[in-house]
Amino acid sequence: RLDRSTDGMVNYNANSAMQQQSIVTHANAIRALAERIEPSGDDIRIVDLGCGPGTSTLLAMRPAVETLIARFPQATIHVGHADVPTNDWNALSAIIFGPDGYATMSDKLRVEAYLGSFYATMPPVGSVDIAMCFAASHWLSRDPGFVAPGTIFFADLQGDKRQKMDALAQADWTQFLNSRAGELRPGGLLYVSTLGAIPDPDEINGVCSSARYLYRAIQVVAQSMADDGLIDQDALDRFIFPLWFLTAEEARRAIEASPTLSEAFEIETIEVVPAELTQSDLFIGLRDDPKAYGEAYSGYVRGFGESSLLKYLFNDAAHETHSARDLVDIFFERYARLNEENVGTYKFETWYLNVQLRRT
């Protein structure tokens, strides 16, 4: 097993419609950060953490970069993109320096790449004016590493396994914020947005998580493959997606429980809100066309989930007759069919966790 939860995400640009939509939704908030900051000198640094391979990070950066160029024509503006070493940096570079990229908007721009983990320091300490992180901070630092029969989804864990994963998620979120507290200049701003969860007394653990049915559908399909002898039941029982969608209360708790973080950050926003257009189902617009619904859904899940499924499940579970790659193909065919035949049953619900903090 590799260390990180999302090493080698594949075909991501093609399948990240939801992430891109959410970034457009937040574009005004990001521009507002660039309108507010008061840099301490002639160097300004803005960084996108967990930037991915291109399209989304360009959408996220553009409004802020335009604003910074207009506000500070004399300043050198460092635009940083931070992600794991296996990110597709060539794709990212082609987009940033391509015809729609921002790299040529001003000769005062310096494009930077930071390779590593956002659970450690990425840009230099005390150097960042604006840090943003979209659809990424829910990935935990590691596989929780326990056996959880019956579910691959954090929100459906119960008892001591839930407690263990909760503790890992809190420790990771705390570590993420500590790293940002180190990187940001006094007065610097941090904006984080990803999927979130809301209190719900009718749900397991009293919490309704974004994408709950998406993950339950993954469990259904993976179990069907174990039942058909395509993968080992043991391997499925060991598999859990290494992610956690925080509630607003959980996101706040990490800051309030840490004297260092409480001192380092002033909380401007911590909220979980429904997605504006597609809260009830990201694919609601395709419900009249079951085949398209199933395929779009499966393609989307493949975009963010294939590398984790390969690494944590199919590489372990492969038999002599089927390679791990074959198993992935079978999985996504079945995933498409399940949703085609049960349109709306596994609706993809979305709530966003938005966090905006100011470095004191």
Ligand X SMILES: C[S@@+](CC[C@H](N)C(=O)[O-])C[C@H]1O[C@@H](n2cnc3c(N)ncnc32)[C@H](O)[C@@H]1O
Site for ligand X, rule CB under 6 A? 4-6, 9, 16, 19, 23, 50-52, 56, 83-84, 87, 117-119, 134-136, 139, 304
Nearest to 293 by CA among 307, 283, 308, 302: 283
Nearer to ligand X, 87 or 210 (CB): 87
Q: What is the DSSP letter of 124?
A: P
Q: Could you tell me the smallest distance in angstroms from the CB atom of residue 53 to ligand X?
A: 7
Q: Could you tell me the smallest distance in angstroms from the CB atom of residue 74 to ligand X?
A: 30
Cβ neighbours of residue 237 closer than 8 Å, sequence gap 6 or more: 147, 148, 149, 150
Q: Could you tell me the smallest distance in angstroms from the CB atom of residue 190 to ligand X?
A: 14
Nearer to ligand X, 81 or 334 (CB): 81
Q: Kindly state the tokens that stand for 245.
A: 């969608």
Q: Could you tell me the smallest distance in angstroms from the CB atom of residue 51 to ligand X?
A: 5
Q: Determine how many CB atoms are found less than 10 A away from the CB of residue 3.
A: 10
Q: Kindly state the tokens that stand for 79.
A: 């635009």
Taking the C-alpha atoms of residue 191 and residue 153, their distance in angstroms, rounded to an integer, is: 26
Nearer to ligand X, 106 or 121 (CB): 121
Q: Could you tell me the smallest distance in angstroms from the CB atom of residue 172 to ligand X?
A: 9
Taking the C-alpha atoms of residue 15 and residue 345, their distance in angstroms, rounded to an integer, is: 21
Look up tokens 């024509």; give the residue: 73
Look up tokens 């979209």; give the residue: 134
Q: Could you tell me the smallest distance in angstroms from the CB atom of residue 40 to ligand X?
A: 26
Nearer to ligand X, 77 or 82 (CB): 82
Cβ neighbours of residue 271 closer than 8 Å, sequence gap 6 or more: 248, 353, 354
Taking the C-alpha atoms of residue 84 and residue 87, their distance in angstroms, rounded to an integer, is: 6
Nearer to ligand X, 96 or 330 (CB): 96
Q: Could you tell me the smallest distance in angstroms from the CB atom of residue 233 to ligand X?
A: 29
Contact predicate 71/40, CB 8 Å: no
Nearer to ligand X, 82 or 198 (CB): 82
Contact predicate 250/170, CB 8 Å: yes
Nearer to ligand X, 194 or 339 (CB): 194
Q: For residue 167, what is the enclosing H or E element?
A: helix 159-183
Q: Which residue is nearest to ligand X (CB)?
A: 52
Q: Could you tell me the smallest distance in angstroms from the CB atom of residue 123 to ligand X?
A: 12
Nearer to ligand X, 52 or 80 (CB): 52
Look up tokens 């706040």; give the residue: 252
